[in-house]
Amino acid sequence: MTIDQILNDKGREVISVGADDTLGDVAKVLDKRRIGAVVALDSGDSIIGVLSERDIVRQVARNGQAALDMKVGDAMTRDVVTVPSTMAIDVAMQLMTDRRIRHLPILRNDRLIGFVSIGDLVKWKIAETEAEAEAMKSYLSAQY
C-alpha cells in the first residue's frame, strides 16, 4: 500500500499559507478546517516550511499573546521532510516515527500533491489490518 492510496481516499487538498501570515490567522484556519498543520509556500508554490498547532502553542508559551501577531516564517519548521506519493505506508510511518514528525507533504515529480498526518497513516493501517483479518476469517470459515 502506498501514500497515493491514502490520498485517493482522503483527498489531495492541501491547505497552505505564506510566510508573512500571522500565527493568529493560521490558528483560525486550523480551527475552522479541524486540521493540525499547514504547509507554508513561497510565491512560486515551493515548500518553505510546515506550521503545526504545536509550533503555535510553543510560541504562545514563550511569547504570550504577542505570539499571535508573529509571522509564520518566524515559527514554522523549515527543515521539511517530504516523500513521494509512491512511498509505502509502512516506510512513511517508520520515517515519521524516526524523525518525530506528525505531518508529511507528499510530492509527485517535485510538485506538492497532498499532505498526510500520522493519524491518516494509522487509520489506513488499522483498516488494512481489519480487512486482512476479515479475509482470513472468511477463508477459514469456507474451509471448515
Kindly list the domain boundaries of the chain, sorted by start residue.
3-143
Q: Comparing C-alpha atoms, which of 4, 36, 38 is closest to residue 118?
A: 36
pLDDT in tens, 39-65: 999 999 999 999 999 999 999 999 999
Q: Is residue 123 classed exposed, middle or buried when 0-12, 13-18 and 19+ CB atoms within 10 A define those classes? A: middle
Query: How many other CB atoms are there within 10 angstroms of residue 20's CB atom?
Result: 9
pLDDT above 70 as % of the chain = 99
Task: Write the DSSP symbol of residue 15.
Answer: -
CATH number of 3-143: 3.10.580.10
pLDDT in tens, 94-118: 999 999 999 999 999 999 999 999 9
